[in-house]
């Protein structure tokens, strides 16, 4: 009975150890800290910032319902940005 319990715990510990990449000790802890930090700054923090920004916009909109709020970014003129290639300094009048 006792050996079955120890074998089960050993198998469970082995499974957990293997699922974490087989690292043990300080290197295991350091790798989890690095992964957690990256996950926070790449996924959690941007979503929190976006949610906070949306709440601020909603609060501003509720403050003055008649005020115009830009909901979309304006489409830039492609010629001003140089996205249309060709003769840049073309004039329409003929000489």
Q: What confidence tens digit (pLDDT) does each residue in 13-63 have?
A: 787 777 766 666 777 778 889 999 999 999 999 999 999 999 988 888 788
Work out the burial of residue 28: count CB atoms within 10 Å of its CB; fewer than 13 is exposed, 13-18 middle, 19 or more buried: middle
Query: Is 53 inside a domain boundary?
Result: yes
pLDDT category at 9 given cuts 50, 70, 90 is confident
- Tally the domains of the chain: 1
Look up the domain containing 60 and give its range: 24-66
Check pLDDT > 60 for residue 74: yes
**Buried b or exposed e, range 43-59, using 16+ CB within 10 angstroms:** eeeeeeeeeeeeeeeee
Query: Is 48 inside a domain boundary?
Result: yes
- Which pTM value belongs to this model? 0.45
Give Cβ neighbours of residue 60 (< 8 Å, ≥ 6 apart).
67, 69
Query: Is 8 inside a domain boundary?
Result: no
Query: Is 1 inside a domain boundary?
Result: no
Check pLDDT > 80 for residue 71: no
């Amino acid at each position: 009975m006792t050996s079955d319990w120890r074998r089960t715990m050993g198998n469970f510990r082995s499974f957990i150890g293997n699922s974490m990449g087989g690292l043990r000790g300080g290197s295991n802890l350091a790798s989890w800290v690095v992964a957690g930090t990256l996950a926070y700054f790449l996924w959690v923090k941007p979503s929190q910032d976006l949610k906070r920004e949306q709440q601020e916009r909603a609060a501003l909109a509720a403050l003055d319902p008649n005020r115009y709020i830009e909901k979309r970014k304006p489409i830039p003129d492609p010629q001003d940005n140089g996205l249309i290639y060709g003769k840049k300094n073309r004039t329409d009048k003929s000489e």
